[in-house]
Amino acid sequence: MSALLVTTHDGVRTITLNRAERHNAFDDALIKELAAAFKDAGHAPGVRAVVLDSTGKSFSAGADLEWMKRMAGYSHAENLADAQALSDMLEAIDACPRPVIGVVQGAAYGGGVGLVACCDLAVAAEGATFCLSEVKLGIVPAVISPYVVRAMGGRAARRYAVTAELFDAAEAKATGLVHEVVPTERLAEVRDKWLARVKGNGPDAMATAKGLIRRAADQPLDDDLRHWTAGQIAERRASDEGKEGIRAFLEKRKPGWVEN
């Protein structure tokens, strides 16, 4: 059975964690598959959005125990290469030029929290639970930390990184880790609502918007940033997609990317 299911329908690429018997915990093989799947989804013709979901009771329990046993015997160089692969996978999700929607049911622990943090939009079931569990094992949430801090803020991240306490979906929403919390049976409804929204927007514009937010969030508001953002809007206005969007608005019709 494949650990990762990838399907495409009506412009939506769905990437599904499929290790339900292991609570969708990931190992080095799944990390490699996930990175490749998101890199492909970001540039595949016709793909307008990506959904990250999972089978079974858990979204992802983080690191697979058998993988962790192997890592315990790795040299420093081997551990470094392994951690870099995880970092590359998270970056592939976070930097995917298409909107990424995370659908979370059950547990999201350790690296599973990192997966959620890399999604542009995330909806969680009311019964979902979250935990930065690494310090219980004498390790740290190092590779996921930049994404987690950016998603839920430094203050909340500090608390949960040092206590390793469970927090529920309501708290995940309060910190900004997820955007909506609904009963399990309404997860698909929220997912589809967001998909309808993003499919109505300019594909290249959304990719640029993601890049804007990624850079602006980490930069001081100085002349360099202001000059760069001015250049970004100038490029979009002069682009074929930008011109088509403005024309369609003025002509009171749908733009070509919706009609097609």
Q: Residue 89 corresponds to which tokens in the numbers above? A: 């996978």
Secondary structure letter of residue 185 according to DSSP = G
The Cβ-side half-sphere exposure at 172, using a 13 Å CA radius, reads 34
Catalytic residue among 33, 66, 134, 165: 134
134 is catalytic: yes
The angle at the Cα of 103, spanning 122 to 150, to the nearest 5 degrees, equals 30
Q: Is 56 helix (H, G, I), strand (E, B) or coil?
A: coil
Give whole-number Cα distances, 103 to 86, 193, 224, in Å: 21, 13, 37
Q: For residues 79 and 72, what is the distance between their CA atoms, to the nearest angstrom?
A: 9
Nearest to 181 by CA among 118, 115, 133, 116: 116
Dihedral over alpha carbons 87, 118, 202, 241 (to 10 degrees): -30
Q: Active-site residues: which are they? A: 134
